[in-house]
Amino acid sequence: MQPDHPKFASILVAAGRGLRAGGGLPKQWREVAGRRVADWTIAAFDGADPVILVLHPEDIDVALPQHVHRVTGGADRSLSVKAGITKAWELGATHVLIHDIARPCVSARVIAGVKGALLAGAEAAAPGVPVTDALWTAENDRVTGTRDRRGLMRAQTPQGFALGPIAAAHDGFPGEAADDVEVARASGLEVVITPGDEDNIKITLPGDFARAARILASL
């Protein structure tokens, strides 16, 4: 049953080092289109809901907007998300949006879609984009086969959850997970798919900065 007055908190996971993107700095602190990646992502979630930034211990004193709540992350992503969930409980949240700090191009429409599904009664919701390319298997730089793409989706964030169920799911999940949807499904939660966006890219490799800059310049 939905609470009478749902309260959201946004957990932005920024505790990783992300050095594959190059530049000598964790990707969240590198500049793109005139601002740090983290600044763009924080701005996308600014509003009435609290924003929780989960940070690497070395970054806990980094300059941030005053309204952002800082927490120290753990040794892996799951522990970092748990730290964010603990802070969300302290802030009185009933629902959380969990987002990769390296997705600075997330749109208000994508965020609203996830929140809307939760407000309509879903315990879990996440944006996805249908796979449209052909899929190969490969070995030693050679194509070894193809895979059927029907029913396949590319996962995005923010992934949204009722706070109690996702907290319990993380407490009962052993080891590492690809994302929080995997954790939720392992505990039996049904996850509603909401519309994703091709521009909601995750910065991972050096070339992703140029693409992100083009997208952010058009906003």
CB 213 within 8 A of CB 31: no
Q: Give the pLDDT score at 176.
A: 87
Phi-psi region of 104 (alpha: psi -120 to 50; beta: other; left: phi over 0): alpha
Percent of all residues in the chain with a pLDDT value above 90, rounded to a whole number: 89
Tokens (6 digits) for 168: 């319990």
Domains and CATH numbers, the chain: 8-217 (3.90.550.10)
The answer, yes or no, to whether residue 19 has pLDDT greater than 70, is: no
pLDDT tens figures, 56-95: 999 999 999 999 999 999 999 999 999 999 999 999 999 9
- Whose CA is closest to 124, among 158, 94, 160, 168? 160
pLDDT band at 20 (very low <50, low <70, confident <90, very high): low
C-beta of residue 138 within 8 angstroms of C-beta of residue 107 = no
pLDDT class of 18 with cuts at 50, 70, 90: low
What pLDDT score does 24 carry?
72
Confidence of residue 3 (pLDDT cuts 50, 70, 90): low
DSSP 117-142: HHHTT-SEEEEEEE--S-EEEEETTE
Confidence of residue 21 (pLDDT cuts 50, 70, 90): low
pLDDT tens digit sequence for 92-108: 999 999 999 999 999 99
Which pLDDT value is given to residue 148? 96
Kindly state the average pLDDT of the residues 7-11: 98
Measured distance CA(133)–CA(161) in Å, rounded: 30
8 Å CB contact between 144 and 138: yes
Least confident span in 3-7, 32-36, 165-169, 177-181: 3-7
Please tell me the predicted confidence (pLDDT) of residue 23: 60
pLDDT per position as a tens digit, 183-205: 999 999 999 999 999 999 999 99
Q: What pLDDT is attached to residue 16?
A: 84
Residue range 140-174, pLDDT digits in tens: 999 999 999 999 999 999 999 999 999 999 999 98
